[in-house]
Amino acid sequence: MTDDTQQEQPKIAAVLDVEGDDLQDAIAEVEEIFGLQLDDSAYGTSGVETIGELEDVIFAHADLGSGARCPSAMAFFRLRRAIGPVKGGRKLRPSDRIADHSRYAPIPLAARLKEQSDLRLSGFGPGRQGRIFGRLAIVAFFLLLAAVTAESLIFSLGALLLIISAVAIAFRDPGAFREDETMRDVTRDLVERNIHRLVRQGAKIDKRTAQRALRRRIAAYGFVHVDEIGRESRFFAEPEAKA
């Protein structure tokens, strides 16, 4: 039984292959989450090579709060208030699918949430409008290549205009929640993306939540599941020793 349990556990990634601009972007997200401005001289990040070393730096300087308020409850009720009344006047529950009850698409809802509670909502996918016009822009790009190859000025200008129009409409897409995404899922993401904002509002963040928030952001850049990241996981491979 013990062997079966061990086999079911996710394998810890030794190397995440996150370096260069990707690493800088990942650390910028971590800074935003914890309200820090990491500096090599002040925090010693120049020598950080593993997840564990980054966690030590973050948790040595981040304020995780000393209040008595539950961050999940705070995020949930602020999210529910931003969504507003739902059909039948019922109260939204954590298990409710947000796509079934929210009158707002993600981007308008994010704007309401930020205005009301100063919380940032992100991580949602493109909506129908974004998908359709995004694909149209790709088709128009290949039409442009064909028109240029055929040296047709009129068709080239037409394809270029179509690309510009499709991209402009796609960028106005209000986004979409995943069909199976519940209020509980969005609440967890809100907590992980707004740690320092919730702390300012009186919440206390436990270290496990903070650790998962950090690892989830790094996982997105390393294209691995968050559970595959351990303290010993390296951001990039060690350079081969010279002979």
Give 83-142 as a DSSP string: H---GGGPPP-TTSBHHHH-SS-HHHHHHHHHHHH-------B--HHHHHHHHHHHHHHH
- pLDDT, position 81: 95
218, 51 Cβ separation under 8 angstroms: yes
- pLDDT, position 242: 38
pTM score: 0.80
- Residue 4 in domain: no
- pLDDT, position 162: 95
Q: Which domain holds residue 85?
A: 71-124+179-204
Q: Within this chain, do residues 78 and 117 fall inside the same structural domain, yes or no?
A: yes
Angle of CA points 100, 106, 107, to nearest 5°: 155
Domain count, the chain: 3
Single out the residue of 78, 65, 102 nearest to residue 199, CA to CA: 65
Q: Within this chain, do residues 58 and 16 fall inside the same structural domain, yes or no?
A: yes
- pLDDT, position 223: 85
> What amino acid is encoded at 152 in this protein?
S
Cα 107 from Cα 120, distance rounded (Å): 10
Cα 150 from Cα 144, distance rounded (Å): 10
Q: Within this chain, do residues 187 and 97 fall inside the same structural domain, yes or no?
A: yes
Q: End-to-end distance of the chain based on CA atoms, in angstroms?
A: 46
- Residue 232 in domain: yes
Phi, psi angle pair for 69, to nearest 5°: -85, 140
pLDDT along the chain (243 residues), means of 10: 51 84 87 84 68 90 91 96 86 93 92 95 86 94 93 92 94 90 95 95 94 92 89 80 40
Q: Within this chain, do residues 185 and 146 fall inside the same structural domain, yes or no?
A: no
- pLDDT, position 1: 44
- Residue 199 in domain: yes
- pLDDT, position 243: 41
